[in-house]
């Protein structure tokens, strides 16, 4: 067997390194503001990949999407997360958002309401979640048609975050946060979590 062929997986029987392996897909039913992934197989995967597909909200105001981690089954909601995001809008406007002591990680700034066309589509990579000796990192990118309060002007966001404490992260919570009133993740919003094969 040629060494190069084996190394790059060109022949049968060789591991398909980098392949996405679906862990779980969840579809919102419109009755909850949170979606939890609690069996993320952090003992198998060092890198996770999360997709948001047409994520909306049931409220009438401005909803943004955040995440929190579970550490050994306990939700971390302290002011421990650090993140930095950049937003670019179709009208040329730009914004920088950042925090060194947040209670969650901002995944997409540019809120949506219950209007049919107001949706968030995004993806994120997670690193080291199952490694007790390393910090957990996130890098994300997304786009949306935001709510009327922002003129329904298309925007995209990219950024990164860290949970700066070495721990085993064994769960991920996605939740929306409305500016006023009560809102849930809209029916049909689809989130899928994958692991990236390394062997």
Confidence of residue 112 (pLDDT cuts 50, 70, 90): confident
Among 176, 160, 31, 192, which Cα is nearest to 113's?
A: 176
**Residue 10's CB: how many other CB atoms inside 10 A?**
11
Q: Decide if 87 contacts 97 (C-beta within 8 A).
A: yes
Among 190, 185, 193, 188, which Cα is nearest to 65's?
A: 185
State pLDDT tens for residues 129-167: 999 999 999 999 988 877 666 677 888 999 999 999 999
Kindly report the average pLDDT of the chain as a whole number.
Answer: 85
- Rounded distance between C-alpha atoms, residue 31 and residue 38, angstroms: 19
First to last CA, the chain: 19
Structure-token match 């990236």, residue found:
196
pLDDT value at position 1? 44
**Residue 20's CB: how many other CB atoms inside 10 A?**
13
Confidence of residue 180 (pLDDT cuts 50, 70, 90): low
- Rounded distance between C-alpha atoms, residue 43 and residue 188, angstroms: 30
Structure tokens at 1: 């067997």
Helix (H) or strand (E) holding 96: strand 94-102
State pLDDT tens for residues 31-89: 888 999 999 999 999 999 999 887 877 776 656 788 999 999 999 999 999 999 999 99
Q: Could you tell me the pTM of the whole model?
A: 0.87
Choice between 181 and 153, residue whose per-residue pLDDT is larger:
153
Among 128, 105, 142, 120, which Cα is nearest to 196's?
A: 128
pLDDT at 13 over 60: no
């Amino acid at each position: 067997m040629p060494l190069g062929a084996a190394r790059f997986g060109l022949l049968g029987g060789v591991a398909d390194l980098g392949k996405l392996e679906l862990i779980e897909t969840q579809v919102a039913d419109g009755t909850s503001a949170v979606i939890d992934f609690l069996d993320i197989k952090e003992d198998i995967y060092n890198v996770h990949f999360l997709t948001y597909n047409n994520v909306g909200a049931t409220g009438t105001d401005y909803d943004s999407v955040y995440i929190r981690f579970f550490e050994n089954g306990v939700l971390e909601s302290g002011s421990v997360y650090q993140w930095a995001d950049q937003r670019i809008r179709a009208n040329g406007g730009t914004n920088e958002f950042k925090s060194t002591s947040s209670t969650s990680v901002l995944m997409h700034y540019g809120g949506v309401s219950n209007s049919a066309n107001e949706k968030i589509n995004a993806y994120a990579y997670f690193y080291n979640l199952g490694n007790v000796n390393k910090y957990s990192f996130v890098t994300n990118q997304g786009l949306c048609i935001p709510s009327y309060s922002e003129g329904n002007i298309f925007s995209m966001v990219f950024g990164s975050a860290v949970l700066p404490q070495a721990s085993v992260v064994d769960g991920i919570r996605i939740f929306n946060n409305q500016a006023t009133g009560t809102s849930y993740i809209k029916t049909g919003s689809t989130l899928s979590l994958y692991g990236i094969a390394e062997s």
